[in-house]
């Protein structure tokens, strides 16, 4: 599998956009409100839900930039399979209300109710070829898949079951890999908000003549066995360009 790095930048939009966002208060937790959010997500593709999540964060003044990497898997005979992108990180702006943005973005991870996932599995079962099992095995398979898919956002669960082409009934490994890839951007956004913005690096400046002289004296004292020319060249290389932090003393 060959990774190719890239960056996907989603331009933040205002609070009121055509994409829309799940309604309700921050940090929705009640069953009724969770079902409303799940229903909202299930009407959208994962890509559209990701854009809505970025838009929601921007309404709190927080900018998010998801970094992705393309994957080009190969089959057992070396044939190229369908490529896909995975999120490898997210940059977050230092401005805005990070706590409010984090609470809102967690809503975008709301799973679908088990009964809805079971309905999607039933729809999948009539569109693909699968081994004939007894009723107990079929019931167990649906129970396992639905409970595991409940760990993913509603739009992702629907996408991996109904918006992905399968010739045969997919293994759980196939479903899980696809679900993790689709959930990746939002998981990266949430992880970035939980971590907070990277500290801003202090601006660098050129070394003053006095600083160069102090460094030269220190090098001369520490390496007396080296030639004077060698020590001078070493200090010149170390103090070239914007090499100093902080204000000049």
Q: What is the pLDDT of residues 181-220, one digit of tens each?
A: 999 999 999 999 999 876 666 677 888 888 889 999 999 9
Q: Which two tokens stand for residue 66?
A: 């998801």
pLDDT (tens digit per residue) in 126-183: 998 877 776 788 889 999 999 999 999 999 999 999 998 888 999 999 999 999 999 9
| DSSP for residue 74 | B
pLDDT (tens digit per residue) in 23-37: 544 444 455 689 999
pLDDT (tens digit per residue) in 114-136: 999 999 999 999 998 877 776 78
- Separation of alpha carbons 86 and 2, rounded Å: 12
Q: Which two tokens stand for residue 203?
A: 């601006």
pLDDT for residue 11: 34
Residues sharing a CB contact under 8 Å with residue 199, sequence separation 6 or more, in sequence order: none
- Separation of alpha carbons 54 and 64, rounded Å: 6
Q: Which two tokens stand for residue 194?
A: 């939980």
Task: Name beta bridge partners: 72.
Answer: 2
- Separation of alpha carbons 93 and 63, rounded Å: 5
Q: Burial of 224 by CB count in 10 Å (0-12 exposed, 13-18 middle, 19+ buried)?
A: exposed
**pLDDT band at residue 21 under the 50/70/90 scheme:** low
């Amino acid at each position: 599998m060959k990774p190719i790095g890239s960056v996907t930048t989603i331009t933040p939009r205002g609070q009121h956009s055509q994409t829309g966002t799940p309604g309700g208060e921050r940090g929705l937790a009640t069953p009724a409100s969770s079902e409303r959010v799940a229903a909202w997500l299930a009407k959208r593709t994962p890509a559209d839900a990701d854009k809505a999540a970025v838009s929601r964060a921007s309404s709190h003044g927080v900018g998010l930039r998801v970094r992705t990497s393309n994957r080009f898997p190969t089959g057992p005979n070396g044939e190229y399979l369908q490529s896909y992108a995975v999120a490898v990180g997210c940059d977050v702006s230092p401005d805005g209300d990070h706590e409010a943005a984090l609470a809102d973005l967690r809503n975008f991870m709301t799973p679908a109710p088990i009964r809805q996932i079971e309905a999607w599995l039933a729809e999948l079962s009539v569109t693909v070829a699968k081994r004939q099992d007894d009723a107990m095995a079929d019931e167990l398979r649906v129970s396992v898949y639905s409970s595991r898919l409940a760990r993913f956002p509603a739009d992702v669960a629907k996408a991996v079951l109904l918006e992905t082409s399968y010739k045969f009934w997919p293994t759980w490994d196939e479903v899980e890999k696809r679900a993790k890839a689709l959930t990746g951007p939002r998981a990266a956004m949430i992880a970035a908000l939980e971590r907070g913005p990277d500290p801003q690096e202090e601006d660098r400046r050129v070394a003053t003549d006095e600083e160069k002289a102090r460094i030269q004296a220190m090098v001369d004292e520490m390496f007396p066995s080296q030639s004077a020319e060698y020590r001078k060249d070493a200090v010149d290389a170390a103090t070239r360009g914007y090499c100093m932090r902080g204000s000049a003393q």
